[in-house]
Amino acid sequence: MKVKCGICPQECVLDEGQTGFCRARSAKDGAVVCDNYGLITSMALDPIEKKPLRCFRSGSSILSVGSFGCNLRCAFCQNHEISMCSRERAKTVPVSPEELVDKALSLRSSSNIGLAYTYNEPLVGYEYVRDCSVLAHEHGLCNVLVTNGYINEEPLRELLPLIDAMNIDLKAFTEEYYQTLHGHIEPVKRTIAIAAAQCHVEVTTLIIPGQNDSPDEMRVLSEWLAGVSPGIPLHISRFFPRYQMADGDATPVETIYALADIASASLKFVYTGNC
């Protein structure tokens, strides 16, 4: 008997025992389960600005955690060692929601404000993020999502009351580009619009030379984002060769600054990254 996963727009239809596109969810006993639940590959106390969030609790720190798996396929992935990894290959440590929140609370003396779900795509581990977020809020901690925004509307709306801030990757502003990542742009635009109405949102676009670096594309992207809210901060980040694009060229610094100037015509807050 096949079962469909409803978390993201990939909407994998799985046979019993089969793992989905994200490598983190599978069919078991007639339901889709979270294979990476409580399996942590990465944990660090980071400055909030590193998420990046520049207009949310500036100067604070946040306990950042990641697992494995992702529901897009970016050839330039900066964390491919875990995002493109399966349960069998991932080096993980089991951490329950209770243990994670206790760890976050123990770091309050180090300016920790809560938990950031990041490094891989956190929403493929939806149930773990939800359960940790409930406990975190009960103890007065913040919840931050660093995500590609590729999630279905219903689970997004169910999770948002627990989320205080999000940084959402907007990889580019064309459907053709998103199809090269095995995704679609409209679900990401929907996520940004819905989330911006309910929590603090910042957006990041990584600029890849020759792929999403045209002035016209940045103009359309920033105008659309301003239509959601001109106060949404946009981070325009420089690409460095990684993963399947290890032989590519880093984005010229002057390109980043030129695109930031274009975006600033529509948005109040534009930041350059990795320059």
Beta strands in the chain (DSSP E): 3-4, 13-14, 25-28, 31-34, 39-40, 42-47, 61-66, 93-94, 112-117, 142-147, 165-169, 200-207, 234-238, 270-273
**Residue 275, pLDDT above cutoff 90:** no
Check residue 170 and give its pLDDT: 98
Q: 96-114, pLDDT tens digit by residue? A: 999 999 999 999 999 999 9
**Residue 239, pLDDT above cutoff 90:** yes
Which of the 8 DSSP states describes residue 57?
S
If we measure between CA atoms, which residue out of 130, 96, 134, 118 comes closest to residue 204? 118
Check residue 133 and give its pLDDT: 98
Check residue 1 and give its pLDDT: 83
Calculate what percentage of the chain has a pLDDT beyond 90: 97
- For residue 21, what are the CA distances in angstroms to 15, 18, 46, 94, 183? 13, 10, 30, 23, 11
Check residue 248 and give its pLDDT: 87
Confidence grade of residue 67 (pLDDT, cut at 50, 70, 90):
very high
Q: Are 51 and 167 in contact (CB under 8 A)?
A: yes
Which residue has tokens 């590609």? 148
Q: 112-136, pLDDT tens digit by residue? A: 999 999 999 999 999 999 999 999 9
